[in-house]
């Protein structure tokens, strides 16, 4: 359903993504792991066109794009198929939880305010935060803020949600409630591409774990195989440090 071919990204003279091939099936939960500085965030950001790729093709629903030559309208269309959850939540500080969830529907999808607010109330219920509809981010815990960040991605009804280390900024006490919400989405077979260092989450939830190093996919497979019988010495070395 999503097919990425030969994705390349450079920053100056440095090749950060060196020909990434990745297919994601509908309903699939993929966890991306690897050392820091290896290009995991850049991969997600390229998929959402937050970065301009230097090469590659992307097939996404009805779209088949040369990533170096995509037009503005093609990029906008492709963006509607993906939603992004940021490490630092990236909520609007001057908007309530409800408004944060509704904002994209109003601005990007051009929904009328009342309809967007109705959807946002449904989402707040699903993320267990109906009582916080009118709360501003500063009055919410880190866990609650990130649940709103996930709620905003859910509201977009994108084919795939991209999570970039969604629990890395959280105090330890809030990590579980965010992971629980992500597990709920996984049970509903929301297609997800998740960069995380939460190995227990990867083991329990992922259909496939992708290990990246140096801008390349080194090895991938079901968690039962990748964690227990990694084939590449780089994978073994990384797993020894984090497991
Ligand atoms: P990861 O998420 O795996 O830690 P990143 O994708 O953030 O890795 O970064 C990969 C490499 O690209 C790093 O060396 C980083 O310094 C570099 N990089 C990321 N973003 C930029 C940028 N906007 N400008 C220059 N270099 C960048
Ligand atoms: Mg990163």
According to the model, what pLDDT value does residue 136 have?
Answer: 98
Helix (H) or strand (E) holding 235: helix 233-242
What ipTM was assigned to the predicted interfaces of this complex? 0.98
According to the model, what pLDDT value does residue 62 have?
Answer: 87
**Residue 117 CB partners (closer than 8 Å, separation 6+):** 98, 102
Percent of the chain scoring above 70 in pLDDT: 100
| pTM reported for the whole predicted model | 0.97
Closest protein CA for atom 6 of ligand 1: 39
Q: Is 96 left (phi over 0), alpha (psi -120 to 50) or beta?
A: beta
Q: What whole-number distance in Å separates Cα of residue 33 and Cα of residue 199?
A: 9
Looking up tokens 């990434």 gives: 20
Q: Which positions of the chain have pLDDT values less than 70?
A: none
- Distance from residue 214's CA to the centre of ligand 2 (Å): 13
- Other CB atoms within 10 Å distance of the CB of residue 35: 15
Here the tokens at position 182 are 């992500």
Ligand 1 pocket: which of 13, 14, 42 to mutate (most atoms within 8 A of CB): 42
């Amino acid at each position: 359903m999503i097919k990425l071919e030969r994705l390349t990204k450079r920053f100056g003279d440095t090749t950060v993504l060196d020909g990434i091939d990745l297919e994601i099936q509908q309903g699939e939960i993929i966890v991306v792991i690897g050392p820091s500085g290896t290009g995991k965030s850049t991969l997600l950001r390229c998929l959402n066109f937050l970065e301009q790729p230097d090469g590659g093709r992307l097939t996404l629903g009805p779209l088949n794009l040369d990533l170096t030559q995509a037009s503005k309208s093609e990029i906008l269309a492709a963006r509607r198929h993906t939603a992004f959850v940021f490490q630092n939540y990236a909520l609007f500080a001057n908007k309530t939880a409800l408004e944060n969830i509704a904002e994209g529907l109003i601005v990007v999808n051009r929904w009328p305010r009342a309809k967007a607010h109705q959807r946002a109330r449904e989402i707040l219920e699903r993320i267990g935060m109906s009582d916080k509809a009118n709360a501003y981010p500063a009055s919410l815990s880190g866990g609650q803020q990130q649940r709103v960040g996930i709620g905003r991605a859910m509201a977009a009804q994108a084919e795939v949600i991209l999570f970039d280390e969604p629990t890395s900024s959280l105090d330890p006490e809030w990590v579980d409630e965010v992971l629980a919400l992500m597990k709920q989405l996984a049970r509903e077979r929301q297609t997800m591409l998740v960069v995380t260092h939460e190995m227990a989450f990867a083991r329990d939830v992922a259909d496939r774990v992708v290990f990246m190093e140096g801008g390349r996919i080194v090895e991938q497979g079901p968690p039962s195989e990748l964690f227990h019988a990694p084939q590449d010495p780089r994978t073994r070395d990384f797993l020894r440090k984090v497991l």
